């Protein structure tokens, strides 16, 4: 069953067509990837799914519901959460605060009852705290909960960003280049980490990635984008041998 | 010895000691045992500045909205208190050019009710202003809020049947005790502190840290910005109401936009994002401006007139002090930290290690 469907989406910025007639169907429970050379429109596609941009044409369907044109916060409430290409943590706040903030979207108490520490809002706050600590524990970050986010090592900041996205109770996780800037061993760790969270939290993962070894290893389906156009889709092997993909990445061979 | 001080029991007893000390100072001042009217007035003014500065820090320092509308919201609070608390018998004498609006002329409210009403009206106006203006960011937001603050002032200057125009409103009942000012200040600061340390406060901080990420985490930016802006305006209104009662008179000139800069100064000095820093800076700046009056008086040393000691000189000194402070304490007094025994003891410890005294970095 598909959890996310992108139907004929086109995105134009003035005269530039960043994404052209894109069709993608992400299957529930799978790890799928979107790849392509720089400037192919991958992040634009992510921004359309998460509501940062509203597409010029086409629509985005999440769990059978049209979410095109909703603001990012509403889309996150529906269960899609993302990470960013260049880490965007709440840098000067603690690890725990970063996670707690991601719990705020489901709060029921109003600001007055929270300010006055009324019993039901205290209960809610306690529940948030327990839930956040449990999540940090599962992801091996509990020991760092009182550290300031920007003081963490790079790999851990990446993990914290994923943890923060999970804290919104997301069912579909969009990872924008999760392995960017990581060395090979960190990349391997990340790969098993992504597998673990998928199974543990019953997630669907859709990611943009440049590290081909990571993509080829963990994705069950790969979409290849070039100049805003989908040029191939399929399993790792299918994509690897597609001549259009090779052309896009390596250029066309010219006869001398 | 410092380590001995660093346990919970001593800390809480030190806190209790401080509270008793604070309360007895206020009681002594209140009963005229120590100090005089001038000192009481400066302290009350500091308490009012504390409320408004902390409310401004909520918006600027914690939510990251560069708003300069505080003077306008104060004016709304001040005028509400003025309009509704002046005794009915005095009204005709005050509104002698243009008679007071017949509906308002019949209403007299107790001070507490007028004060809260002033806060609520300020918050309401903030919501109305916030809906268009909070779509802007950074300096654009600052300019727009500054403009609205001036609009409020000019409306008050011209709505003569409500505000008595440029003549202002006199004979506002004066509060008999300092506890009114300090009580409301303590309550306001406590409420803002509780708000900032709740889930909503964390959402505000998230918006300050990174709007894009905050929105991606499901925080409705607009709703939370308007909320912070309106709560900030509410407390500015309360501060304005207290100011009306302290001075016993309001007129539009008191709420010129330059007033906002004093609060901006205080929060920058105390630390954007530090409540205790703002409280300290409010008292230091308000009292400091008074202490520096010494420089405004002509000074004769050994029979020679020192020529630069003349009215206005204190502002030169004040500005110099500010420049030094901003140069050496870029994040203000406390940055985003809060004052606590731990912070003080850690600093003492560090100074002890590095030899005697030593300056904070």
Per-residue pLDDT at B336 exceeds 90 = no
Tell me the nearest-neighbour CA distance from B98 into chain A, angstroms. 41
Contact A101 B194 (CB under 8 A): no
Tell me the nearest-neighbour CA distance from B245 into chain A, angstroms. 27
How far is Cα of residue B35 from the mean position of the Cα atoms in its chain? 23
- Whether residue A153 lies within 8 A of chain B, CB to CB, comes out as no
In this structure, is residue A216 part of a structural domain? yes
> A101 to chain B: which residues are within 8 Å by CB?
202-203, 205-206, 214, 217, 219
Q: Please give the helix or strand (H or E) that residue A66 lies within, else none.
A: strand A65-66
- Per-residue pLDDT band for B359 (boundaries 50, 70, 90) equals very low
List CB contacts of B275: < 8 A, sequence separation 6 or more.
Answer: B54, B57, B189, B192, B193, B196, B338
A39's tokens: 């400037």
The residue of B198, B214, B222, B337 whose CB has the most chain A CBs within 10 angstroms, and thus the best one to mutate to test that interface, is B198
CATH of domain B36-353: 1.10.3470
Per-residue pLDDT at B157 exceeds 70 = yes
Q: Could you tell me the pTM of the whole model?
A: 0.87
Residue in B closest to A78 by C-alpha? B218
In this structure, is residue A256 part of a structural domain? no
Nearest to B216 among A50, A107, A124 (CB): A50
- Average pLDDT of chain B? 84
The residue of A87, A90, A150 whose CB has the most chain B CBs within 10 angstroms, and thus the best one to mutate to test that interface, is A90
Mind listing the pLDDT tens digit for each residue in A20-32? 888 888 888 889 9
Q: Which domain holds residue A187?
A: 2-250
User: Of the given ranges (A97-106, A246-255, B143-152), which has the lowest mean pLDDT?
Assistant: A246-255
> A104 to chain B: which residues are within 8 Å by CB?
199-200, 202-203, 206, 217-219
Mind listing the pLDDT tens digit for each residue in B20-39? 888 888 777 777 777 787 88
Burial (CB count <10 Å: 0-12, 13-18, 19+), residue B46? buried
- Whether residue B217 lies within 8 A of chain A, CB to CB, comes out as yes
- Per-residue pLDDT band for B294 (boundaries 50, 70, 90) equals confident
Mind listing the pLDDT tens digit for each residue in B297-328? 777 777 777 777 777 777 787 788 778 877 88
- Whether residue B214 lies within 8 A of chain A, CB to CB, comes out as yes
Contact B218 A105 (CB under 8 A): yes
Tell me the nearest-neighbour CA distance from A188 into chain B, angstroms. 26
Task: Give the count of alpha carbons within 13 A of B4, CB side only.
Answer: 1
3-state secondary structure of B34: coil
Q: How far is CA B121 from CA B63, B79, B236, B239, B281, in A?
A: 22, 10, 11, 13, 28
- Per-residue pLDDT band for B113 (boundaries 50, 70, 90) equals very high
pLDDT at B188: 94
pLDDT at B304: 74
Give the domain CATH number at A98.
3.40.50.300
Tell me the nearest-neighbour CA distance from A79 into chain B, angstroms. 10
Under 8 Å between Cβ of A180 and A85: yes
> B194 to chain A: which residues are within 8 Å by CB?
115-117
- Whether residue A162 lies within 8 A of chain B, CB to CB, comes out as no
In this structure, is residue A237 part of a structural domain? yes
ipTM above 0.85, yes or no: yes
pLDDT at B357: 44
Task: Give the count of alpha carbons within 13 A of B172, CB side only.
Answer: 26
Per-residue pLDDT at B98 exceeds 90 = no
Distance CA B5, CA A3 (A): 59
Distance CA B166, CA B72 (A): 16
Task: Give the count of alpha carbons within 13 A of A166, CB side only.
Answer: 26
- Compute the average pLDDT of residues B256-267: 84
Residue in A closest to B198 by C-alpha? A114
- Average pLDDT of chain A? 87
Under 8 Å between Cβ of A176 and A43: yes
- Per-residue pLDDT band for B361 (boundaries 50, 70, 90) equals very low
- Per-residue pLDDT band for B60 (boundaries 50, 70, 90) equals very high
Mind listing the pLDDT tens digit for each residue in A155-190? 889 889 999 999 999 899 999 988 888 888 888 888
- Compute the average pLDDT of residues A226-247: 83
Torsion angle, alpha carbons of B35, B38, B42, B47, to 10: 60
Per-residue pLDDT at A16 exceeds 90 = no
In this structure, is residue A255 part of a structural domain? no
Nearest to B203 among A101, A128, A165 (CB): A101
Q: Please give the helix or strand (H or E) that residue A25 lies within, else none.
A: strand A16-27
**Can you give the residue ranges of every domain in chain B?**
1-35, 36-353
Nearest to A90 among B194, B198, B210 (CB): B210
Contact B202 A101 (CB under 8 A): yes
Q: How many domains does chain A have?
A: 1
- Compute the average pLDDT of residues A228-249: 82
**DSSP 8-state secondary structure symbol assigned to residue B169:** B
pLDDT at B360: 42
Q: How many helices (H) and strands (E) would you count in chain B? A: 16, 2
Contact B202 A72 (CB under 8 A): no
Q: Pick B299 or B66 by higher pLDDT.
A: B66
Distance CA B198, CA B204 (A): 10
Under 8 Å between Cβ of B72 and B152: yes
Torsion angle, alpha carbons of B323, B325, B330, B333, to 10: -150
Tell me the nearest-neighbour CA distance from B76 into chain A, angstroms. 23
User: Of the given ranges (A6-20, B61-75, B154-168, B301-315), which has the lowest mean pLDDT?
Assistant: B301-315
Q: Please, which contacts does B100-105 make with residues 24 or more away whose CB atoms are closer than 8 Å?
A: B100/B161, B100/B162, B100/B164, B101/B161, B101/B162, B104/B162
In this structure, is residue A195 part of a structural domain? yes
Contact A89 B198 (CB under 8 A): no
- Whether residue B146 lies within 8 A of chain A, CB to CB, comes out as no
Per-residue pLDDT at A249 exceeds 60 = yes
Q: Please give the helix or strand (H or E) that residue A11 lies within, else none.
A: strand A2-13
Q: Pick B289 or B189 by higher pLDDT.
A: B189
């Amino acid at each position: 069953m598909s959890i996310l469907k992108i139907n004929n989406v086109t995105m134009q910025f003035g005269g530039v067509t960043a994404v052209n007639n894109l069709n993608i169907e992400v299957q529930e429970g799978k790890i799928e990837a979107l790849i392509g050379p720089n400037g192919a429109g991958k992040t634009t596609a992510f921004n359309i799914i998460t509501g940062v941009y509203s597409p010029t044409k086409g629509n985005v369907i999440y769990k059978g519901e049209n979410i095109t044109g909703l603001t990012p916060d509403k889309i996150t409430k529906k269960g899609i959460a993302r990470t960013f290409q260049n880490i965007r943590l709440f840098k000067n706040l603690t690890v725990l605060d970063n996670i707690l903030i991601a719990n705020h979207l489901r709060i029921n108490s109003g600001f007055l009852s929270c300010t006055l520490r009324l019993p039901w809002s205290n209960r809610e706050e306690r529940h948030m705290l327990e839930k956040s600590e449990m999540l940090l524990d599962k992801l091996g970050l509990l020991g760092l909960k009182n550290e300031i986010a920007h003081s963490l090592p790079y790999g851990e900041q990446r993990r914290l960003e994923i943890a923060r996205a999970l804290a919104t109770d997301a069912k579909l996780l969009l990872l924008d280049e999760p392995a960017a800037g990581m060395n090979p061993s960190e990349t391997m760790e990340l790969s098993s980490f992504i597998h673990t969270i998928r199974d543990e939290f019953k997630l669907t993962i859709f990611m943009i990635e440049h590290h081909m070894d990571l993509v080829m290893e963990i994705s069950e389906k790969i979409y290849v984008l070039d100049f805003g156009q989908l040029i191939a889709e399929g399993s790792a092997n299918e994509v690897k041998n597609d001549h259009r993909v090779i052309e896009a990445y390596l250029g066309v061979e010219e006869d001398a | 010895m410092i380590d001995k001080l660093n346990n919970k029991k001593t800390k809480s007893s030190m806190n209790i000691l401080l509270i008793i000390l604070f309360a007895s100072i206020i009681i002594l001042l209140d009963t005229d045992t120590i100090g005089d009217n001038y000192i009481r007035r400066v302290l009350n003014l500091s308490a009012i500045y504390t409320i408004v500065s902390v409310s401004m820090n909520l918006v600027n320092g914690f939510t990251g909205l560069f708003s300069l509308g505080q003077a306008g919201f104060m004016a709304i609070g001040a005028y509400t208190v003025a309009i509704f608390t002046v005794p009915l018998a005095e009204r005709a004498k005050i509104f002698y050019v243009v008679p007071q609006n017949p509906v308002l002329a019949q209403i007299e409210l107790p001070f507490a009710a007028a004060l809260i009403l002033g806060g609520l009206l300020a918050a309401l106006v903030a919501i109305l202003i916030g809906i268009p203006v909070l779509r802007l960011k950074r300096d654009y937001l600052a300019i727009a809020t500054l403009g609205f603050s001036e609009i409020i002032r000019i409306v008050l200057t011209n709505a003569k049947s409500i505000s008595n125009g440029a003549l202002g409103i006199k004979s506002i009942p004066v509060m008999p005790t300092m506890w009114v000012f300090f009580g409301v200040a303590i309550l306001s600061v406590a409420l803002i502190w509780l708000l900032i340390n709740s889930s909503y406060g964390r959402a505000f901080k998230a918006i300050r840290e990174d709007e894009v990420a905050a929105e991606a985490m499901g925080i409705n930016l607009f709703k939370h910005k308007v909320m912070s802006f309106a709560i900030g305006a509410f407390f500015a209104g309360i501060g304005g109401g207290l100011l009306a009662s302290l001075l016993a008179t309001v007129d539009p000139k008191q709420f010129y936009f330059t007033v906002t800069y004093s609060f901006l100064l205080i929060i920058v000095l105390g630390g954007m994002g530090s409540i205790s820093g703002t409280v300290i800076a409010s008292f230091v700046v308000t009292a400091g401006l008074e202490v520096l009056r010494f420089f405004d008086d002509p000074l004769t040393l050994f029979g020679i007139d020192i020529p630069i000691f003349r009215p206005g000189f204190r502002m030169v000194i004040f500005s110099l002090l500010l420049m030094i402070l901003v140069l050496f304490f870029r994040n203000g007094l406390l940055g985003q930290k809060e004052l606590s025994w731990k912070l003080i003891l850690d600093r003492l410890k560090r100074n002890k290690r590095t030899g005697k005294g030593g300056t904070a970095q």
